[in-house]
Structure 1
Amino acid sequence: MIKGLYEAHLPVSDMEASIEFYKKLGLALAHKGEHVSFMWIKKGKSWIGLWESEEVNLPYHPSIRHIAFQVDLENISSAKEWLHLKNIDVSEAFGFEPARQPLVLDNDPQAHAAIYFNDPDGNSLELIAPLRLDVNESFEKMELTEWLRLKK
């Protein structure tokens, strides 16, 4: 029945600035409305809704102001440079400074490589790539470079 996640929504304070930011990430404008616009992540498969609102000033919590975009493992290592070329700063996450990202998340029995950044309104965004699924092997969060060195 369920085949994936089609949409997620974020509050924004300036629709035009937000549309331009998400275009820099490679998303395409699907619909522009007066107070809500939609950006394709993958046309016909998934999009995000951007809601212009005063409610954007809610305190951050990942359950309401966070989206993770899946990327290939081959791309996660170059994600920091890709963001830098778009004038987007990597954010500290889980005690890992930008210089130590991408990091590996310890979601046992899964492991994912991730890098974090914010949109213009401080919504938390993440690029994430699966490293392994359904493998019971506990570990602590670490830098991706360390993970790859240990797995050789």
Structure 2
Amino acid sequence: MIKGLYEAHLPVKSLERSIEFYTKLGLKFAWRDDNTAFFWIEEGRSWIGLWEGKEYETPYHPSLRHIAFQVSFEDLKVSLEWLHSIEIEAVPFGTRTSIEPFVRPNQGNASVYFNDPDGNSLELMCYVEVPKELQSLTNKLSLTEWEIV
């Protein structure tokens, strides 16, 4: 039923700074007004709304401040270089200490994390074909580890 992300919303401190950041990620600007700006993730299908204002001060659960962007596995393999080229630092996920993209065999996906200027959690994520005998693995494997399994 669900084919992808339709829309997501994030609170931001500075709309101008966030517009610059999301433009640098390669998202196409859709529209803005005084307090909000929207960017196409997939034009005509999904977008992200950025909301500037006091709402940013309201406590948010991390799940409400996270977006995953779908990418190909090949793109994920070069994601650290791409993020570095646009001056964005990857960050470790959860208790991991490495910023290297990793695979979740039990979920059939792989990802790398980074933050926007307001600390909203962003993720580049792709589907991964997992052999049946590995689908019960719950530990996360770096891409390097995954490719030798």
Instruction: Give the TM-score of the pair, scaled to structure 1.
Output: 0.87
Matched, 1:75 2:72: no
Any stretches of 5+ residues in structure 1 without a counterpart?
Answer: none
Query: How far, CA to CA, are the matches of 2:49 and 2:131 in structure 1?
Result: 32
- Post-superposition CA distance 1:52-86 (Å, at most 9, x none): 02222445633210000000001001000100111
Query: How far, CA to CA, are the matches of 1:18 and 1:51 in structure 2?
Result: 10
C-alpha deviation, 1:133, in angstroms: 6.6
C-alpha deviation, 1:134, in angstroms: 9.4
Query: How far, CA to CA, are the matches of 2:3 and 2:128 in structure 1?
Result: 21
Any stretches of 5+ residues in structure 2 without a counterpart?
Answer: none
- Secondary structure of 2:64's aligned partner: coil
Q: 1:132 aligns with which of 129, 133, 148?
A: 129
Query: How far, CA to CA, are the matches of 1:134 and 1:44 in structure 2?
Result: 35
Match for residue 142 of structure 1?
Answer: 141
Match for residue 123 of structure 1?
Answer: 120
Letter in 2 for 1:6: Y
Identity over aligned pairs, percent: 51
C-alpha deviation, 1:97, in angstroms: 2.7
C-alpha deviation, 1:102, in angstroms: 0.2
